[in-house]
Amino acid sequence: MSFVEYGDTIKDGDTAIVFLGHESMFPVKVQHGTVTQTKYGVIRHSTDLIGKKYGSKVTCSKGGWVFILHPTPELWTMNLPHRTQILYSTDISIITMMLELKPGSIVCESGTGSGSLSHALIRTVAPTGHLYTVEFHQQRAQKAREEFREHGVEHLVTVTNQDVCKNGFGVSNIADAVFLDIPSPWEAIGHAKSALKAEGGRICSFSPCIEQVQRTCLAMEEYGFTEINTLEILLRVYNVRTISLQIPDLGKAAEDNSSSGFDSSNPSHQGSPCANLQQGTVQFKSGVPLREVVGHTGYLTFATKS
């Protein structure tokens, strides 16, 4: 099992996603002789998982069933253990596009955090690219190394435990892109410029506060970056529902009734088409936004090394 290469069957030691529903799923490490409890009953790894194909429908001990999915960066983002605040797919997608990443790209990242963005970057630059990720916190750095090894991507990433604002990324003039998610990104702009290739490298800084963005933009200008722009990505989800509305009375039916001598008070005319038209309804599909939506996450500031 690897997050960058699809495997057909579930093997001992794999990380799999137990899918109970769109709003209910969780990761599990497949181990021989282990069981996993769900609301539908027990899943026995030895008999229910190992050797089965990813995507299989597995029946639990109580008669309910779940799907076992192959892990992807998107599924991992939704289910990973949170060691820090993480980036979600909405921001990750625009970061990947604006940094112009592709297979073979060299990327520097700080900080690693819970590894949500890291897994997406590794999948994008594989199989010939590389990610250099820097984490200030020693325990988080060590945990990230263990996860990358378990997920089969350790050959595509180098984890360094140091302060990027003081010591940089540990590489010079090779990176195609740099990503910063730290409290004071303006202090790392000089090191980011040193890590980027001689010309045309891209940089992105993620900051939740506009004051951080202002100081970062000033630092980018000071170090000669161009094409500086800031984006905020807001996701608005719509539900498709069936809505019923009354047909409006525009007066035409009443005019037709009077001109034709129609008497609405006559009981024999109560079932006429004109009477039904005034009281009828029409149904149609419509998109309705959710009452509660995810608001501001952070500002994304992009620039180019000239």
Binding site for S-adenosyl-L-methionine: residue ranges? 114-117, 135, 163, 181
| Torsion 296-118-4-82 (CA) sign | negative
Edge-to-edge strand list for the sheet holding 130-135: 157-161, 130-135, 106-110, 177-180, 202-207, 299-305, 225-231
Q: Which residues contact 209 (CB under 8 A, 6 or more apart)?
A: none
Annotated binding site: 114-117, 135, 163, 181
Distance of alpha carbon 34 from alpha carbon 268, whole angstroms:
76
Q: Which residues contact 66 (CB under 8 A, 6 or more apart)?
A: 18, 19, 20, 38, 40, 43, 57, 58, 60
The CB density around residue 251, as the number of other CB atoms within 10 Å, is: 8
Q: 89 with 121: CB under 8 angstroms?
A: no
